[in-house]
Amino acid sequence: MDFLREAFSGNNRFVLRLAIIAALGGFLFGYDTGVISGALLYIEADFHPSSFEAQAFVGALLIGAVVGAILSGFSADALSRRRTKIVSGCVYVLGALGSAAAQGPTQLIVARFVLGISVGAASFVSPLYISELAPKRIRGGVTSFNQLMIVSGIFAAYIVNWAFGGVSGNWRWMLGLGALPGLILAVGMYFQPFSPRWLVEQGREEEARDVLRRARSSEDEADEELGEIKAEAKEEGSLRDLLSPGVRAMVLIGVVMAVAQQLIGVNTVIYYAPTILKLTGVGTGAAITQALSVGITNVIFTIVAILILDRVGRRPLLLVGTVGCILALVALGIFFASSTLKQEAPVVALICLIAYIASFAVGLGPVFWLMISEIFPLKVRSAAMSVSTVANWSSNFLVSTFFLTLTGAITIQGTFWLYAGFGVLAAIFFAFRLPETKDRSLEEISHEVSSAEPEPESG
């Protein structure tokens, strides 16, 4: 495999090590996404929360993530990507221990909000940091380690939920165990270098050269890249630049990808897979086991994406993946609309869910986080990624909160067809507007974006 051969050769091994530690930010994100559905059952038995409080246990994290994504848009520039990740690891430890020790619903909601701040920050600073360190030939694959960690975190949470099912005080363990990867992230990042792009922006060129020389195959390659970064870093940026013609078009692409990633319904599949499978008539135990196969598929196909993203390119994978999700959603809707299918072939629902998650795992899952770390010029990169990430967490909040209400209003098949409709709009947009970023340096990409024709003045 080209990716593996490249990634394990020479100085790329150094990049690989940095990417694995940095991607732990994704693990925190995934662990929380996966753990709460299992823990909730036991928390409800202990605290007897009102239905508002029960929703707030889930929602507080998502709202915290929106706040974390805004704050880290500033701190990734002011404090550095590296320090932002150290702080986010520490905040995560506090939030996880706070959740585990909560004595009542309010304390738990506050602790989950704090966790969310950390998750929102880590969600985009991880891919940002990795893509700024990686050489262009393997940037797609190594940056997507972040997505691999997200899906591994989700899967690890399923296993923890299952393993602690019969243990007393189990939900406290489920939530508290998250402190461990948080701690490893904070300590690991303490020993990592700063991003070379951030160093150049601070005028610390010699340190940037040093990092690049350790991360590139030759000194010449490092020096050439440093030259490109310096040329780009000369340009001053302000928030207003987010609205300049070329950048504005990219911000729109980032936001559309962010919203599409959620409106296609991925987290309803993640949160509600057992519930959806139970509707097909299988028992609770079988539904949970089948949901595990959805989790494993997510991991396996994310690995496939990592292996081929740098060869096949981002655009083809995103398009094929989005079309795959649409077809699976349409088929899932047909399944729920047909009483014959439900009675005679309940396995069809499982096949559709697996096809759906495999398509998401090669498309919108990794490609969204990767491309928002590639398409913005350095001067606005953190701010523009922050805007896209806020759009992602806000839509995650809306879709997850209203899934059950929506199925009540327009039936479950109607809900899946609605998601498919959003997918069709997104696929059309991607086909016409998405650039290819494979095998190009971040500076080449942003040069093209910034030199986009200004719009003709009207009047």
Q: Alpha carbon of 59 to those of 46, 338, 395, 397: distances in Å? A: 19, 33, 12, 7
List the structure tokens of 34. Answer: 């996966």
Residue type, 315: R
Q: What is the DSSP string of 119-145?
A: HHHHHHHHHHHHHHHS-GGGHHHHHTH
In whole angstroms, the minimum distance from the beta carbon of 178 to ligand BGC comes to 16
Cβ-closest position to ligand BGC: 365
Binding mask 303-342 for ligand BGC (x = CB under 6 A): ----------------------------------------
* Beta carbon nearer to ligand BGC, 108 or 151: 151
Residue type, 292: L
In whole angstroms, the minimum distance from the beta carbon of 123 to ligand BGC comes to 7
In whole angstroms, the minimum distance from the beta carbon of 207 to ligand BGC comes to 32
Q: By CB under 6 A, tell whether 395 contacts ligand BGC.
A: no
Coil, strand or helix: which one is 216? coil
Region near ligand BGC per CB under 6 A, out of 74-82, 235-243, 266-274, 280-288? 266-274
Region near ligand BGC per CB under 6 A, out of 44-52, 114-122, 194-202, 260-268? 260-268
- Per CB under 6 A, contacts with ligand BGC among 18-47 are 33
List the structure tokens of 130. Answer: 């990795």
CA pair distance 95, 101, nearest whole angstrom: 10
Count of helices and strands (H, E) across the chain: 22, 0
In whole angstroms, the minimum distance from the beta carbon of 148 to ligand BGC comes to 10
- Beta strand ranges found along 254-301 (DSSP E): none
Binding mask 142-171 for ligand BGC (x = CB under 6 A): -----x--xx--------------------
CA pair distance 96, 183, nearest whole angstrom: 11
- State the chain's maximal CA–CA distance in angstroms: 72
In whole angstroms, the minimum distance from the beta carbon of 396 to ligand BGC comes to 5
By C-alpha distance, which of 258, 200, 264, 253 is closest to 229?
200
By C-alpha distance, which of 159, 122, 212 is closest to 34?
159
Q: By CB under 6 A, tell whether 222 contacts ligand BGC.
A: no
Q: By CB under 6 A, tell whether 267 contacts ligand BGC.
A: yes
* Beta carbon nearer to ligand BGC, 102 or 361: 361
* Beta carbon nearer to ligand BGC, 274 or 377: 274
Contacts with ligand BGC by CB under 6 A lie at 33, 147, 150-151, 261, 266-267, 270, 298, 365, 369, 392, 396
